[in-house]
Amino acid sequence: MAVQISSLTCIGRSHWRFLARYACASVLSLWVSALSIPRAGAQEQQSDWQIQVRKYCDANDWPAALRVVDQRIAQAPDDLDLKAWHARVLGWSGNLAEAQQEYLEILSVSPNDPDVWAGLGSVYARQGKDDDALLALGRAVQLDPKRADLRIAHTRALREAEKRNAAAAELKNAAGLDASSTKAPHAINAGRRVVTGELRVGNETDFLNYSSANQASGTNLATRWTPFLRTNVGFAAYLRGGVLAEKFTASATANVHWVGSVTAGGAIAHDRAVIPKSEAFFDLDHGWKTGEATILRGLELDYGQHWYWYQAARILTLSGTAVFYLPREWSFSLAATGSRSAFSGTGAEWRPSGSMRVAFPLATGKTSQLSGNIVFAAGTENFASADQIGGFASQTYGGGLRFRFAERQDISCGVSLQRRTQNRTDTYLGLSYGIHF
Per the CB < 8 A criterion, the answer to whether 308 and 315 are in contact is: yes
Same domain, 307 and 408: yes
Q: Is residue 4 part of a domain?
A: no
Whether pTM > 0.75 for this model: the answer is no
**One domain for residues 390 and 283:** yes
CB 359 within 8 A of CB 331: yes
Q: Are 200 and 179 in the same domain? A: no
Q: Do 230 and 82 share a structural domain?
A: no
Residue 359 lies in a domain: yes
Q: Does a structural domain hold residue 10?
A: no
For residue 83, the domain's CATH number is 1.25.40.10
Per DSSP, 296 falls in state: -
Distance, CA of 219 to CA of 223 (rounded, Å):
13
pLDDT single digits (tens) 125-165: 777 777 888 899 999 999 999 888 888 888 878 877 767 77
Looking at 145, 162, 190, which one is the last position of a domain?
A: 190
CA distances from 196 to 199, 242, 299 (A): 10, 38, 26
Does residue 137 fall inside a structural domain? yes
Tell me whether residue 286 is in a domain. Answer: yes
Provide long-range contacts, Cβ within 8 A and 24+ apart, for 80-85.
80/106, 80/109, 80/110, 80/113, 84/36, 84/113, 84/115, 84/116, 84/119, 85/50, 85/53
Domain boundary among 190, 211, 227: 190
Structure confidence at residue 56 (pLDDT): 87
Tens-place pLDDT, residues 363-403: 877 667 899 999 999 987 654 333 433 467 889 999 999 99
- Range of the structural domain that residue 335 is part of: 195-436
Same domain (yes/no): 126, 244? no
Q: Which CATH number covers residue 280?
A: 2.40.160.40
Q: Are strands 229-240 and 214-226 parallel, antiparallel or unpaired?
A: antiparallel
Domain count, the chain: 2
Whether 105 and 213 map to the same domain: the answer is no
Q: Are residues 159 and 37 in the same domain?
A: yes
Residues 248 and 335 in one domain: yes
Do 144 and 279 reside in the same domain of the chain?
A: no
Determine the Cα angle at 382 with ends 379 and 383, to 5°: 120
Same domain, 117 and 185: yes
Residue 80, in any domain of the structure: yes
Question: pLDDT tens, 33-57?
Answer: 444 444 433 344 457 888 888 888 8
75/201 same-domain check: no
Domain boundary among 155, 190, 225: 190
Q: Are 330 and 357 in contact (CB under 8 A)?
A: no
Q: Are residues 383 and 334 part of one domain?
A: yes
* CB proximity list for 67: less than 8 A, separation 6 or greater: none
Distance, in Å, from the CA atom of 437 to the CA atom of 432, rounded to the nearest integer, reads: 17
